[in-house]
Amino acid sequence: MMRLYIETVGCQMNVLDSELVVASLKRQGYELARAADQADTILFNTCSVRQHAEDKVYSALGKLKRTKQDFPDKIVGVLGCMAQKDQQRVFDRAPYVDLVVGPGQLHRVPELIEEARRGAGRQLAVSLGRREGAVEAVRRSHESFDPLRDPEMRPTPFQAYLRIQVGCDKFCAYCVVPMTRGPEQGRHPDAIVAEARTLADQGCLEIVLLGQTVNSYRYGTGPATVRLAHLLERLHAIDGIRRLKFVTGFPKDMTRELLEAVRDLPKVSPYLHVPLQSGSDPVLERMKRGYTVDDYRSMMERIRDTLPDAAVSSDFIVGFCGETEDDFERTKECVRAFRFKNSFIFKYSERSGTKAAERFPDDVPDGIKQRRNNELLEIQNAISEEDNVRLLGRTFDVLVEGPSKTARKKGEEGPDIQMTGRTHCDRIVVFDGETRQAGRILPITIYDASAHTLFGILDIPDPTPQVYSLLQGRSRGDEERCG
């Protein structure tokens, strides 16, 4: 039996890609190892979005040099966005790497490992660059492979990611993703629905639809074009699925039609992740985001009109080229005004090959980026906490994911341990419960809150299995839809 260890960094796309790679290798007889030193195949699924993500992988690879000297038969592979971006340079920096495989070529991993093991030397499989061929050829080289799924790799057994779109065509000036993931392509809706059915049959209650700009999803042309709203309707009809989420949204494509679908389809979470990136028009312009702060404000109004209780979250880049103190003040104002559920804040990291790297110097010193990052985070945290405190005393349906990190660290099991789950709006809730509650949607009443966590108690302290099933089937009013 071959043993495989895989380490994943980056976004949910990568988590899903790792699931698919593991599924394809298990078919070849591999099993998962808990640590790199117990494995004969070690894979890194990598991210290039910021320098830090790349440094982490190169440093982990550095540590494997000795291992490869001592155990030359071990196979080391670099997969994902950094493989696509750096290609041959991965071998130059870490000559003992056996395979480098871009995200559009992952279906070839089993075959490439075989080749390397047979002594055929280094294996490089990457997709075409955006200008390296005819449009169709570039597209095809980035198509991801058939959905072989592996439940063991999921966030939990009842939650799964489902890709509905690959690539990105927005070309934000700072971003490598359009290069590493190739052209935007919507998957065939029938394939998506079929995969969702399989997931539902496997016991998935929650499906998170993935795309870099998931709400730009389209399939087909003309009046027959299928959009995300139509897709949500079809997925909503699948028995067994209880919750549907989609990430990441692009502000300009958050249409009224889509928001109305979210409103009218109760399984669709009233949770929208739509990054603003900056609160200053000149910065947005240099970033080539294609909208102004006013456009974003109109989108927020659309959201509040249609879905008054929706939770909206955002991403921000601080210290982008030429960002002044005044630009940053505007970003702060937006964070205060829009009251996001949470924001992911990143220091700008220059990426070679992007428009920003070509056109603008990375001129904000790291110390200033760090300060702006801290300041923005502090404002966001205060808002998150204030809004969470408003939820005290309310009862929400929580999809219980399992023991919380603290409980897991202590190796606890059984009754009265801290369990964690999420509301329909994606808020994290912890409560004292028991392991067998994982995978159930239970009513939890909130008694305390911090910026990132709601603390609750189960509505009924120790319900019998019969009561559980009653609770699960209970239809709840509008008030509990969100939280």
Sites of contact with ligand SF4 (CB under 6 A): 168, 170-172, 175, 177-178, 212-213, 250
Q: How many residues does the chain have?
A: 483
In the block, residue with structure tokens 């394939």:
191
- The answer to whether 351 and 175 have CB atoms below 8 angstroms apart is yes
**Does the footprint of ligand SAH cover residue 9 (CB under 6 A)?**
no
Which residues, 351 to 410, sit near ligand SAH by CB under 6 A? 351
Closest CB 310 distance from ligand SAH, rounded Å: 17
**Does the footprint of ligand F3S cover residue 11 (CB under 6 A)?**
yes
**Does the footprint of ligand F3S cover residue 425 (CB under 6 A)?**
no
**Does the footprint of ligand F3S cover residue 176 (CB under 6 A)?**
yes
Q: Rounded to an integer, what is the distance from CA 143 to the centroid of its chain?
A: 19
Sign of torsion over alpha carbons 98, 104, 110, 115:
negative
The residue within the footprint of ligand SAH, chosen from 49, 335, 400, 430 (CB under 6 A), is 49
Which residues, 266 to 305, sit near ligand F3S by CB under 6 A? none
Q: What whole-number distance in Å separates Cα of residue 184 and Cα of residue 248?
A: 14
**DSSP secondary-structure letter at 115?**
H
**Does the footprint of ligand F3S cover residue 181 (CB under 6 A)?**
yes
Report the DSSP pairing between strands 75-80 and 41-46.
parallel
- Which residue, 5 or 348, has its beta carbon nearer to ligand SAH? 348
| Nearest by Cα to 43 from 83, 13, 84 | 83
- The answer to whether 147 and 111 have CB atoms below 8 angstroms apart is no
SS3 for 277? strand
- Which residue, 210 or 244, has its beta carbon nearer to ligand F3S? 210
The residue within the footprint of ligand SAH, chosen from 346, 369, 421, 444 (CB under 6 A), is 346
**Does the footprint of ligand SAH cover residue 50 (CB under 6 A)?**
yes
User: Which of ligand F3S, ligand SAH, ligand SF4, none lies near 57, with the C-beta cut-off 5 to 8 A by kind?
Assistant: none
Q: Residue 302 is inside which H or E element, if any?
A: helix 293-306
Determine the interface stretch with ligand SAH among 61-69, 172-180, 183-191, 449-457 (rule: CB under 6 A): 172-180
User: Which of ligand SAH, ligand F3S, ligand SF4, none lies near 403, with the C-beta cut-off 5 to 8 A by kind?
Assistant: none
Which residues form the interface with ligand SAH (CB under 6 A)? 49-50, 174-175, 177, 212-213, 248, 275, 277, 315, 317, 346, 348-349, 351
